[in-house]
Structure 1
Amino acid sequence: MTTLDTPTPARVAVHPRPRPPAGRVFLAVLRRDLMVTRRELWVILLQVALTPLFMLFVFDTVLGRQGIVGPGFADLFLPGVIALAALTTALQSIALPLVKEFGFTMEIEDRLLAPMPTGLVAIGKLVIATLRGLLAAALVYPLGALVVGSAPWRPAGLPVAVLVALLGAWVGAALGMCLATTLPVQRINVTFSVILTPIIWTGCIHYPWPRLSSMPWYQAATALNPMTYVSEGVRGALLPEVAHLPAWICLTVLVAVAGALTWLGVRCFNRRAVQ
């Protein structure tokens, strides 16, 4: 009886699926968030329409018709409203959702499981919030012109105005990330009220910074507010004939503040994600 040798089946090497580059994953996440932003455009429009446009209506139309403010006040006020829309929209766009995602539902875990560093997750959220703030600034300009009936227009100053609004939105987004990742959920609403009030009323939204020289203590207080440099940068770009802070000072301060808050926000985000 002959024994037939049965051949041993060859082992098939199974190679793990290559991990996609972090940059490609980052861009894919950004595309998804941009699609969500496009669908929520009406939400951004509401954020723009509430505080800035009502302020324009009351301070210019209501007070203007009573003779309390001068006829040229709207031209000084509108650049400040643009700055307000950029910074506060970016701040709210990242702070409130991030508090929810780090809350009991822990929705942030889905994003943290993406094959990219945790720091890139934080940067992606900053980018989307900044774009929302910049979009809010672009929307409030024509809407504000409709409310007050006119708007300062200077094409040569638009690049500086856009750059200042972009930096202001990034500062707002980074500040929102710092707040959302360091404060307990129960105190976030109170903190918003405490922080947003001085940001709005000491941010030179309603008046140029050099005209505060008669009140040195208040002028010094407004110099500590990053909103001041956003307002003054946009105002100087659109109304160069009005006394304002030089553009290079506004840009330098905003870049420094944006860099410091970004470093702190990403660090707090990483620490919160690990917890």
Structure 2
Amino acid sequence: MSTIATPPLTREPASSATTTTHARSRASIVTAALWHTLRRDIVVTMREIIPFLVQTLVMPLCLLLVFGRIMPGVGATHQAYPASLLPGVIAFSIFQGSILAITLSLILDLGAIREIDDRLLAPLPVSLVAIEKVFFSAIRAMFAGALTFLLAYWILGSGYQVRGDELLPLIGIMFLYALSSSALGLIIGAALSPDKIYLLFTLVFSATLYTGCVYFSWSSISSIKVLQIITLFNPLTYASEGLRYAMMPLTNGHASATLPIGWVVLGLSVSFFIFLIIGIQTFHKRVIS
């Protein structure tokens, strides 16, 4: 009597299915925690909308009023100067908005009270906590830039001249610079202690403002080679020049002389990735110590 051998049944290893399920569950938890953290930051900002507006609008208001309205009105600058000034002011508003959003909060969160520990209790890697702060800061910076457009329209009057055919490059440059300056703010906020906060205003803001081609275009300082080279190490220069490319009206059918848009995108992209890597490392060392 013969017996028929049956092949053994093969089963998919349970460990791989369990691992996949666990990974999906972990990803959903992290995504939910990231969203709730971002939403909380947005809600807090809306509750403090008046201080936010004061921080955002005072500096652009002064720059546009003095250099964009009064000085051309009294003949101290030519009448076309506001069109060249406005892109620089918007770029600086983005820088200011992002730095104030992330740096001041980080300096306070990492102080003696250690309010940052509340965020670290969330089911998020430390690096994602830092990235969330950068992304939220960039959102605030974009809002600051948009408000500056409205402010300029009100202050400059007939001096408000902005092209409307380069909207996508305009938004792209603004957002890329918002990310870059927010990543820089992550470095500063994680590196500075509360007793060194004065350096933020006396050194960072002043040096960035005056070497970022806010008041002048990069091509206009071609006779001062040293200054022209120094400005290339400031991401604000690339943002100001990129916005001039996207905003300034054509003159006799020709665009104004600016840095090539390819160099603008490259400069902002490289600065963002460098600042982000250094910022995450600095933040990680600070919160773990």
Q: TM-score, normalised by structure 1?
A: 0.90
Residue 252 (structure 1) aligns with: 266
Equivalent runs, 1:110-125 vs 2, <5 Å? 110-125=118-133
Cα deviation, 1:175-210, whole Å, max 9, x if unaligned, reads 111011112221121243112111001111111111
SS of equivalent residue, structure 2 residue 197:
helix
Which deviates the most, 35-44 or 211-220? Answer: 35-44
1:261 pairs with one of 275, 280, 287: 275
Residue 96 (structure 1) aligns with: 104
1:237 aligns with 2:246: yes
Residue 12 (structure 1) aligns with: none
- Given that residues 56 and 96 in structure 2 are in contact (C-alpha distance below 8 angstroms), is that contact kept between their aligned partners in structure 1? no
SS of equivalent residue, structure 2 residue 111:
coil
1:195 aligns with 2:204: yes
2:193 pairs with one of 181, 184, 202: 184
1:218 aligns with 2:232: no
Cα deviation, 1:100-133, whole Å, max 9, x if unaligned, reads 1111111111110001111111111111110000
Corresponding pairs, count:
258
How far off is 1:37 after superposition? 2.3
After superposition, the CA RMSD in angstroms is 1.5
Q: Return the letter of the residue paired with 2:147.
A: L
Distance 1:121 1:101 in 2: 13
Distance 2:56 2:118 in 1: 30
1:68 aligns with 2:82: no
How far off is 1:167 after superposition? 1.4
Residue 10 (structure 1) aligns with: none
Distance 2:51 2:140 in 1: 10
1:129 pairs with one of 128, 137, 146: 137
Distance 1:153 1:110 in 2: 44
Distance 2:107 2:92 in 1: 22
SS of equivalent residue, structure 1 residue 261:
helix
Cα deviation, 1:32-75, whole Å, max 9, x if unaligned, reads 21222233333332122211110111112221222110111111
Cα deviation, 1:199-255, whole Å, max 9, x if unaligned, reads 001111111111111111111111111100000001100125211111111111100
Distance 1:152 1:162 in 2: 17
- Given that residues 102 and 133 in structure 2 are in contact (C-alpha distance below 8 angstroms), is that contact kept between their aligned partners in structure 1? yes
Distance 1:254 1:186 in 2: 31
1:39 aligns with 2:39: no
Which deviates the most, 134-143 or 173-182? Answer: 173-182
Q: Return the letter of the residue paired with 2:206.
A: T
- Given that residues 170 and 246 in structure 2 are in contact (C-alpha distance below 8 angstroms), is that contact kept between their aligned partners in structure 1? yes
Q: Return the letter of the residue paired with 1:189.
A: Y
Residue 284 (structure 2) aligns with: 270
Residue 108 (structure 1) aligns with: 116
1:85 aligns with 2:93: yes
Which deviates the most, 126-135 or 216-225? Answer: 216-225
- Given that residues 44 and 132 in structure 1 are in contact (C-alpha distance below 8 angstroms), is that contact kept between their aligned partners in structure 2? no
Q: Return the letter of the residue paired with 2:262.
A: W
Percent identical: 32
Q: Return the letter of the residue paired with 2:215.
A: H
Distance 1:102 1:271 in 2: 12
SS of equivalent residue, structure 1 residue 105:
coil
Distance 2:134 2:261 in 1: 24
How far off is 1:268 after superposition? 0.9
Residue 149 (structure 1) aligns with: 157
Structure 2 runs not aligned, ≥5 long: 1-24
Cα deviation, 1:7-26, whole Å, max 9, x if unaligned, reads xxxxxxxxxxx876212211
Q: Return the letter of the residue paired with 2:107.
A: V
SS of equivalent residue, structure 1 residue 156:
coil
Distance 1:252 1:156 in 2: 22
Which consecutive segments of 4 or more residues in structure 1 shift more than 6 A?
none
